[in-house]
Amino acid sequence: MKLFLFFFLFLFGFQRSSGQGVLIGSPGQTPDSSAVLELRDSVRGFLPPRLTTVQRNAISNPQAGLTIFNTDIQCLEFYRNGSGWFSPCPTAPQIVLDSLFGNNGFSWQAAAKVTFDGGSYVNQRGFCISVLPQPDINDTLVLAGGGGGGTFSAALPSLASGILFYVRAYAINSVGVAYSSLDSFRIRTVVQFTAIGNHSWTCPAGVDSVELLVVAGGGGGGFQVGGGGGGGGLVYIPKFGVSAGQSYSVVVGAGGLGGPNEPTPAQNGGNSSFSNILAIGGGRGSNWNMNVNNGGNGWPGGSGGGGSGNSNNFNGSGGLSNQQVNFGAYLNVGKGNAGGNGWANQWAGGGGGGAGSVGSNASPSTGGQGGAGFPCSITGTLTYYSGGGGGCNDSSSALISGGIGGGGSGTGNGNPGAPKNGQANTGGGGGGVRDTSGPGGTGGSGIVILAYQ
């Protein structure tokens, strides 16, 4: 060992003096007084550790000033606290697009990562968007997270629906701009048919399926101790197959009229449809006298109408749902429920059924509430459809709530003018009316909604 050390010192001319630094060079030379270590040679150079970028990034807790030769960029690099590795001969950054994901297609968010800053601080990064392939920083820009390396993300802006947009991540340092690989996205298109009657829709190019919601018109509310109208039948298919260029028939059903007087019953709601997918109109709420047309019992429909009580101590039954559930390969897509029963001794009407739940039975103290509708986010906002109408109330003037999803309120004793119609374009059932001074509530009209990307 001593022999080896002697040979090493002799070979490199190692020289050290008290209070001085260390010199590696020719014998007899003195190190510069400002240097703790000096290398001096006229035919050889200094060779620092040679690492790839991956190997460099694996160094644990690098100290400021730590120096390597990066074989990927063929240049020296040293570490700076707060800004990472720096090179006097940097390159453009390296960046990848990690993910592009949407909130049901209505809004999109992108994430990317600067995997290598090129040996120079990344002063800007983000995403560029265009309707043409290969978007760059001259197109729509979304800045993200300031500068630096590592992962970043941003919400993409609200853009026109139905158009294919291209997106790339980008990063800029002192050398220039670098781009990630390319991806694309569409903002979802929503088509709503709200006008009552017949329509058509032609499938655009590039679309092979749609999210589909078909809501029938709600049933009318009963007159005088009337039951609430049933919510319109509802069909929801998350992925319904269509063919580009083909025309499809669309029908939006009207809401049923409320019962206008004792001998004239309310009406069921009108059916709605898309192609062969049929939603059945809501059942009408019953009038109070069982000796007239359907007095006492609620009528069947997409959701059944509420039953009524009457002067002969007959507790009218709620109507049943006759909404078809399956349509070929589309199983359990139809929604509808029965209406609630009336209460004769208290002269109170049952609530109309809703697409989400049955209507409540009337009780000795109050009318039945309308059944809840069915929740759906097809438009990008959670909305309830086809709520049942509330039954009437004899014990007070308080309103009886219709079901969430457009169901009209049932009126209380002495309160005939209160709102009781079902909400338009929800398929909500009309509310039942207690007094003889006004008709039962009209059901809300239906709606047909398509959404696609």
Q: What gap in Å lies between CA 26 and CA 329, rounded to an integer?
A: 90
DSSP of 128-151: EEESSSS--TTSEEEE-SSSSSEE
300-349 pLDDT, tens digit each: 999 988 888 765 667 889 999 999 999 999 999 999 999 999 987 778 89
Domain 94-186 fold: Immunoglobulin-like (2.60.40)
Three-class DSSP category at 99:
strand
Helix (H) or strand (E) holding 57: helix 53-57
Contacts of 204 (CB under 8 A, 6+ apart): 162, 244
* Predicted confidence (pLDDT) at residue 412 exceeds the cutoff of 70: yes
Domain ranges of the chain: 11-86, 94-186, 189-453
Look at 109 and 42; give whichever has higher pLDDT: 109
Q: What's the confidence (pLDDT) of residue 364?
A: 80
Q: What's the confidence (pLDDT) of residue 31?
A: 84
Q: What's the confidence (pLDDT) of residue 104?
A: 75
Look at 249 and 73; give whichever has higher pLDDT: 249
Q: Which of 208, 216, 257 shows the shortest CA–CA distance to 236?
A: 216
User: Would the CA dihedral through 72, 76, 80, 86 be positive or negative?
Assistant: negative
The per-residue pLDDT of the chain, averaged, comes to 89
Where does residue 433 fall: left (phi above 0), alpha (psi -120 to 50 degrees), or beta otherwise? beta
Helix (H) or strand (E) holding 8: helix 2-12
201-253 pLDDT, tens digit each: 999 998 999 999 999 999 999 988 899 999 999 999 999 999 999 999 999 99
User: Would the CA dihedral through 279, 284, 285, 290 be positive or negative?
Assistant: negative
Average pLDDT over residues 113-124: 89
Q: Do 179 and 124 touch, CB atoms closer than 8 A?
A: no
178-194 pLDDT, tens digit each: 999 999 998 999 999 99
Q: Name the band, by pLDDT with cuts 50, 70 and 90, for residue 74.
A: confident
Output the pTM of the full model.
0.76
Q: What gap in Å lies between CA 35 and CA 402, rounded to an integer?
A: 88
- The torsion angles phi and psi of 122, rounded to 5 degrees, stand at -80, 110
